[in-house]
Amino acid sequence: MPDAPDLQPTVFVVFGATGDLSRRMVLPAFYRLAQLGLLPADWRLVGNGRGDVSHVDFAQLVRDALEEFGPLGQEDEDAEAPWEDFSARLRFAGGGFDDEDPGSLLDVLAEAREELGGDPLHVHYLAVPPSAFERLTRGLDAHGLTGGARVVYEKPYGTSPESFRQLDELVLSVLDEEQVFRIDHFLGKEGTQDLHALRFGNGMIEHLWSREHVAQVQIDVPEELDVAQRAEFYDATGAALDMLVTHLFQLAAEVAMEPPVSLSAADLLDARESVLDAFRPLDPDEVVLGQFEGYTDLEGVADDSTTDTFVAARMWVDTDRWRDVPFLLRTGKRMAAGEQRVSLVMRPPSGPVDDAPAYGNVLTLSLSGSGAVELRLVAKRPGPDLQLSVGTAVLELTDVSGGTPLPPYVSLLHDVLTGDRSLFTTSQGLARAWAAFAPLQERPPEVQPYPPGSWGPAAADELPGPCGWVLGPRGEEAHAGA
């Protein structure tokens, strides 16, 4: 790992510290930063919640989370090494927190500041349901906790264009934009970040990155899992709100952006968010919503729920580079496979080869794990006759020499510490994304059932046209047949 930057003493406050998101993602990410030596030399982590939990009991809750979801639950001899020092820096402030009653948080923060000395940086992480954002934001302002602080908001940041505007007006009335970190962990994935290097570091690929050579872009995130312990939250949100207007739109912007002036954080952020202005508002007739059979039997889900657990959309980016090239976005629960892929399906070649196999030329970036680059190419099938087939070359990013891949939450938390906002969404960018998403909320199509373990409602198979989905029966058959 590179040397850690010289970071000032920091107090982290994790609101919702005993919740599912903190246990699964946030707390393990902090511990991984400690393992890598990427935390400040002096810091404290203060968990906040409604319960009355002692510092010692909170440390045990953190350890339980790390054993279930983090490195302490894996066969890693080095994982235990930082625990004693890490646990000694953990604190808990109970009694809840709002603008009228701060609970014990102010007292615990005062103790942490005294231990650290000076004027430490405060980072407030809101690992809570979106319905609590307003209450906590008002509380931070009312109790003088916003000055110089950095505040991390989980998605979804708003549940409609109107609620987004209301929340954003409140947030920007008490914080400067530079203090706000709206997290989208898909942007922190190694595979997503490698889009820049792959495209701009390889002239032969940058030359292909346009409507002249690309027939369609597929951004596909099927999931085999159901909603697990998130049923109550999920039933109030659904796939389109949970994934489409957040993760998938941001990935589409990563693919569609124009070359930035440089690969600096500011220029990459400007390039990604500028292209959102060119997203054509979704046409509900080009969107398919689905719900897996048996969803309403889950605890916490209403018997008559029409919440979508699947969404597939055909979207258009009205720039000279991408005009008339469909962007196919798809995600859902309880599907046939679990993948996270961005695929550029190339146009068939012109000239003497008029029978190239389907899906013969596809450039894919896998965003799962540490990421991978996959290239499918047409080649001659070995043998006496001239028969065409498809070969696949795969580069695992873990094989890149000297690399130390970081999980997305680890990467993004490190960026918060250093003040790097390039992988976070801005107020203006989210406003553009909500504008493109609005027609789907105004006129949502009927939610269609689909069997668990399938590729979703049959209607979604028609969105890509004759090409079909790269992931799915037609894509698999075409590749196997080649």
CB 60 within 8 A of CB 25: no
What gap in Å lies between CA 118 and CA 122, rounded to an integer? 12
Cα–Cα nearest to 344, from 215, 450, 154, 182 = 215
What gap in Å lies between CA 99 and CA 81, rounded to an integer? 39
Q: Beta 388-396 vs 372-380: how paired, if at all?
A: antiparallel
Instruction: For residue 405, give both structure tokens.
Output: 């891949």
Which residues 6+ apart lie within 8 Å of 193 measured at CB? 187, 411, 423
Cα–Cα distance list, 349 to 214, 355, 356, 357, 465 (Å): 11, 10, 8, 11, 19
Cα–Cα nearest to 286, from 421, 440, 124, 150 = 440
CB 396 within 8 A of CB 374: no
Preceding amide of 156 cis, omega within 30: yes
What gap in Å lies between CA 402 and CA 396, rounded to an integer? 13
Neighbours of 143 (CB within 10 A): 17
Instruction: For residue 336, give both structure tokens.
Output: 């046939």
Strands (E), 248-396: 287-292, 310-315, 327-332, 341-346, 362-366, 372-380, 388-396
Instruction: For residue 317, give both structure tokens.
Output: 């980016």
Rounded to 5 degrees, what angle do the CA atoms 93, 99, 103 make?
Answer: 25
What gap in Å lies between CA 71 and CA 24, rounded to an integer? 11
What gap in Å lies between CA 477 and CA 482, rounded to an integer? 8
Cα–Cα distance list, 394 to 122, 372, 469, 474, 480 (Å): 43, 7, 20, 21, 17
Cα–Cα nearest to 267, from 200, 356, 355, 341 = 200
Instruction: For residue 245, give both structure tokens.
Output: 């207007």
| Residue 247 appears among annotated catalytic residues | yes
Which residues 6+ apart lie within 8 Å of 428 measured at CB? 273
Q: Exactly one of 124, 247, 414, 479 is catalytic; which is it?
A: 247
Which residue, chain included where needed, has tokens 């690309």? 214
Catalytic residues: 247
